[in-house]
Amino acid sequence: MKTTDVFGQGYRGGALERMGLGPLDLARLRPGIIYTSINAYGHEGPWAQRPGWEQLAQTVTGVAHLHGEHMGAKAPMLQPGAVADYTTGFLAALGTLIALDRRARFEAAIASGSRCRRP
């Protein structure tokens, strides 16, 4: 960990902090580390501690309802392919690259994201 540039994780909020692997814990071990964290419902708010995955993200955001409606179904339908998971991963990778660039220029950066953010 002392030579790691990037640490990425997709656990629900607080899970890695309880094991001593939160962003502040790792920053003490490796100053300048980029800690990329993604989860289902955001890092703050009443749903931050809930586990989640693709099917829940499509359902809670209304995407499954809209897709079912578009397909002429009488019930919600999941979109084929893990659109929320893939999009979240792509954006997390982009955020991590931006954070690496910012760290190189300004010596500090934080990146985080979620499949669906709840108020």
Decide if 59 is inside a domain.
no
For residue 19, the enclosing domain spans: 6-53+83-114
Decide if 96 is inside a domain.
yes
pLDDT at 14: 85
- Total domains present in the chain: 1
**Percent of the chain scored above 90 by pLDDT?**
52
pLDDT at 106: 80
Task: Specify the CATH number for the domain of residue 13.
Answer: 3.40.50.10540
What's the mean per-residue pLDDT of the chain? 88
The pLDDT tens digits of the residues spanning 11-26 come to: 988 889 999 999 999 9
Q: Rounded distance, CA 58 to CA 46, Å?
A: 19
Decide if 105 is inside a domain.
yes
Q: Rounded distance, CA 82 to CA 77, Å?
A: 13
Decide if 33 is inside a domain.
yes
Catalytic residues: 85
pLDDT(4) > 60 = yes
pTM of the model: 0.78
Decide if 110 is inside a domain.
yes
